[in-house]
Amino acid sequence: MRILVINGPNINMLGIREPDIYGRDTYADLVEYIKKAASQLKVEAAFFQSNHEGDIVDAIQQAYGVYDGIVINPAAYTHTSVAILDALKAVALPAVEVHISHVDSREDFRRVSFVREACIDTVSGLGFQGYVEAMKILLKA
């Protein structure tokens, strides 16, 4: 199975940004963590990170016909982006929404997810392991 792992804005700042919430490991550490688990699960994982909504929309569109599933942490765009929701609906690939932190126990605005409706499941609050759980969900889908 080929899976595209998409991370949204400020995920490139892992290790520096709000370490009490997101931990001290970097984005490069996250990619390594997922790669290791992917090879154990016999998943081919590719990675995309952007701070720009349109670039994330492009990446989702370009996944069509290339990947079998999407793991996506849209970060702040989770709570605002109709464009990312529509892109996920457009390609209709099985997608799982991931959040490193537990979004439901933070500010009220983080409880709202525009993308959830286009995803088969959501994994929130499990740290980096959440991406691995998301891959397992896609494998079973």
The answer to whether residue 22 is catalytic is yes
Residue 138: in which H helix or E strand, if any?
Answer: helix 129-140
Region near ligand DQA per CB under 6 A, out of 56-64, 93-101, 113-121, 132-140: 93-101
Region near ligand DQA per CB under 6 A, out of 45-53, 58-66, 68-76, 86-94: 68-76
The answer to whether residue 67 is catalytic is no
Separation CA 113–CA 44 (nearest Å): 27
Considering the rule CB under 6 A, would residue 76 count as an interface residue with ligand DQA? yes
In this structure, what is the dihedral angle of CA atoms 96, 99, 102, 104, given to the nearest 10 degrees? -60
- For the chain, the 3-state helix, strand and coil shares in percent, each to the nearest 5, are 50, 20, 30
- Point out the residues that are catalytic: 22, 99
Binding interface with ligand DQA (CB under 6 A) = 10, 73, 75-76, 78, 99-101, 103, 110
Q: Can you say which residues are annotated as belonging to the binding site?
A: 73, 79, 86, 100-101, 110
